[in-house]
Structure 1
Amino acid sequence: MMARKKVKLAYITNDGARKACFRKRKKGLLKKVSELSTLCDVNACAIIYGPYDTEPEVWPSPDGVQRVLAQFKSMPETEQSKKMFDQVTYLSQRIGKAQEQVKNQTKENREKDVKHVMFQSLSGKSLQGLMLMDLQDLTWTIDQYLEQVHSRMKNFKEALKNENQEQGATAAADRPMDNVTP
């Protein structure tokens, strides 16, 4: 089965396509609510107000929705709002995630800039004009590269040593045994 490509979440300007998409998504959402209720044995309901319907669509039935809402309203208010969040909370979470992404991208850009300065300095460009923080980051980056080089050299030496030992053992096994007496 092929994976679907990621859908760009944007308003669908074509009326027919938007209406068809709404119908399909609504059907899929109601199916998911039904599956969740059945598979996990939870009380669930759905109320969907659509621009193309005069009445809201409810699942499983108007009475079923009333039962779930009554059960929800009978809970203490602290329990009701425990896992609930509104648009402000949702947007706050999204902003937090976006800020984290910006922070990570800024760090990645900084690392690339420092690597660029390092490689330029290897080709003879002067380091004058760099601030102390830039020089500290450059030192750290160089140390990281040196650790990688030392690690690769160590691994290469060990692999070469193992290969030489294997060749020595193979050569000894291949030598004819001249002095063996039966």
Structure 2
Amino acid sequence: MRSKIKHEEIPDKDGRNATFLKRTKGLKKKANELSILCGVDIGLVIHKKEQSNAVLWPSPESFWSRLQEFMEFRNEERKRRMTTHEGLMKQMVQGEMENLEKLKKAIQLKESRQLVMKSMQTDSFNGFGIDQLNAMNSFADHMIKKLQQRDNELNEDEH
């Protein structure tokens, strides 16, 4: 039966080096299995404190190549997805301006319709200003277009 290992630095230098070599070998083996089974690129850096000889796995060339690909991917992905606050605000303002224009047109049409109804009730255009007459004209143009569209739809259905 195995004894549990305390997770603290091994005080004996030889024991620490032996554990380092065994665990490094096991870590490389697991990284290789993960790479093969899942089809992913893996790079490991294993560095001992106070030493300048880092272990780069699978090889220094492959490690640096994979690291470079990862760093380039991250920049490209970040640039592709990045939306600056200013750009986002411009998009929102533009959308709201378009909505505002649509609402203004809808209100103008309703007001124009009311003016036309009022003129039909009184059977007179007396008392209307030039702006109100222009609004009624716009409404009439809008209604003519809608009637033409409907006429075209009905003619298409017959054919």
Output the TM-score relative to the length of structure 1.
0.37
In terms of fraction of residues, the more helix-rich structure is: 2
Q: Which has the higher contact order (CA 8 A, sep 6+)?
A: 2
Normalising by structure 2, report the TM-score: 0.42
Q: Which has the larger radius of gyration?
A: 2
